């Protein structure tokens, strides 16, 4: 925030954590004192929900390409989830991200790519559900 604040400012805090989503509206005055005006959130929405959408997308792609279901392989799912979390972070600053996992399942190397547009399509309802707590706050 600005050091030389003149007058009051309203600030919206948007905190989309791993498992929960919180929104707060604060008023900050010239002395950098702040007062919480309102809060809202969704305890059933977080970054993990976005990760799971990407994981499901690649589980289906793997099934289409190799006729194998990764849902029966917990180790492969963990490795895929780690790669999907990394891809999600990459998409914050790039328009596409690569998934590269050697020997994901039964010796099969899995290489794919996801675009930011595809990520947004997969998660559009989750993005929309972020709006309600913002409106409430």
Alpha carbons 34 and 37: distance in angstroms, whole number: 9
Same domain (yes/no): 115, 104: yes
Alpha carbons 60 and 77: distance in angstroms, whole number: 12
Alpha carbons 111 and 53: distance in angstroms, whole number: 18
pLDDT at 33: 87
Q: What is the full per-residue pLDDT of the chain (137 aa) written as tens digits?
A: 556 667 889 999 999 999 999 999 999 988 778 999 999 999 999 999 999 999 999 999 999 999 999 999 999 999 999 999 999 999 999 999 999 999 999 999 999 999 999 999 999 999 999 999 999 98
What is the pTM (predicted TM-score) of this model? 0.86
Domain containing 22 equals: 9-45+130-136
Same domain (yes/no): 101, 121: yes
Cβ atoms of residues 98 and 112 within 8 Å? yes
Same domain (yes/no): 82, 100: yes
């Amino acid at each position: 925030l600005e050091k030389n604040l003149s007058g009051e400012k309203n600030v919206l805090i948007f905190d989309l954590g791993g498992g929960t989503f919180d929104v707060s509206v604060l008023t900050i005055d010239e002395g950098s004192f702040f007062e919480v005006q309102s809060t809202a959130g969704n305890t059933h929405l977080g970054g993990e929900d976005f990760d799971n959408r990407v994981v499901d997308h690649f589980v289906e792609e793997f099934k289409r390409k190799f006729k194998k279901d990764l849902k029966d392989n917990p180790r492969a799912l963990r490795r895929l989830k780690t790669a999907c979390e990394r891809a999600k972070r990459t998409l914050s600053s790039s328009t596409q991200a690569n998934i590269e996992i050697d020997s994901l399942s039964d010796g099969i190397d899995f290489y794919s790519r996801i675009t930011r547009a595809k990520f947004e399509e997969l998660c559009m309802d989750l993005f929309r559900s972020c709006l309600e707590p913002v409106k409430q706050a």
